[in-house]
Amino acid sequence: MSERFKYREDREAYSAARVRALEALLIKKGIITDRTVDTVLEFFETKMGPFNGAKIVARAWVDPAFKERLVADTPKAIAELDLPDGMAGAEGEHMRAVANAPGVHNLIICTLCSCYPWPVLGLPPYWYKDPTFRSRAAREPRAVLAEFGLPISEDVEVKVWDSSAQIRWFVVPERPAGTEGLSETELEALVTPEAMMGVAVANAA
């Protein structure tokens, strides 16, 4: 085992050195700059991703009137927030939020990854595009949710929303109990992509 571990460490160092050489050479030739990598990855790390969805949900938790506007006209409500451009633009303009409530649990599915609401949820997980997940979630959502560790009691209605090129759904989970004293920023940390897909609920930390 220790041998394999050493092999792995050596290979890490070797790969790291290869990338350093490649980047340095491309910079030396003026093809890229030392800022290029950070600039291109900024898109995933700070502009478009689940952190945006978390901000939207946390605002809905602290401001019931915002939550109402969010469900009634999602792009317009999102535009009220100080989020990166494009959130309510080409990709975001068909976005629709559905809110969980004591008697209702929402689940989103989609056939095509390109229909995933990524400005707010980030990249979809592997299983999301699996045809089995999609068809089973449409047919027997309670059984699928139970497999995700989320049994839904019989008196709660489960609504399944199928995203398409026209409408990309996301879920506003319920605010967890015992979070009354938390700030909006602290609440953001409790919102996971899974909760915004409806395969989990938000939990207090």
Partner 1 sequence: MLTQFEHFAVTEMLGKPDSPPRANGTLCFGSDWERTSFGIALALAKEGYFEWDDFRDELIASIRTWEDEHPSDHSSWNYYDQFLTALESAVVKTNLLTASELSEFFTLGDQVNQ
Residue 79 touches partner 1, criterion: CB under 8 A: no
Contact status: 192 vs partner 1 (CB under 8 A): yes
- Residue with Cβ nearer partner 1 (136 or 142): 136
Minimum distance, C-beta of residue 164 to partner 1, in the bound complex (Å)? 12
Nearer to partner 1, 122 or 154 (CB): 122
From 100-108, 112-120, 143-151, 172-180, give the range in contact with partner 1 by CB under 8 A: 112-120
Taking the complex as a whole, the smallest distance from the CB of residue 106 to partner 1 amounts, in Å, to 18
Structure tokens given for 83: 């989020």
Is 201 near partner 1 (CB under 8 A)? no
Could you confirm whether 15 is annotated as catalytic?
Answer: no
Should residue 8 be labelled a site residue for partner 1 when binding is judged by CB under 8 A?
Answer: yes
205 in contact with partner 1 (CB under 8 A): no
Does position 62 interact with partner 1 (CB under 8 A)? The reply is no
Which of 6, 17, 203, 205 is in the footprint of partner 1 by CB under 8 A?
17
- What's the rounded Cα separation, in Å, for the pair 158 and 140? 10
**Strands (DSSP E) found in the chain:** 95-99, 104-110, 157-163, 168-172
Q: Please give the DSSP secondary-structure letter assigned to residue 113.
A: G
Say if residue 150 is exposed, middle or buried (CB neighbours under 10 Å; 0-12, 13-18, 19+): middle
Contact between 127 and partner 1 per CB under 8 A: no
C-alpha of 158 from chain center: 20
44/42 Cα distance (integer angstroms): 5
Which tokens hold the place of 52?
């945006």
> How far apart, in whole angstroms, are the C-alpha atoms of residue 107 and residue 159?
6
Residue 115 catalytic?
yes
Q: Which of 148, 200, 149 is nearest to 176 (CA)?
A: 200
Does residue 113 have an active-site annotation? yes
Cβ atoms of 64 and 99 closer than 8 Å: no
| Residues in touch with partner 1 (CB under 8 A) | 4, 7-8, 11-12, 15-26, 29, 31-32, 36-41, 43-45, 48-50, 86, 89-91, 113-114, 118, 121-126, 129, 165, 192-193
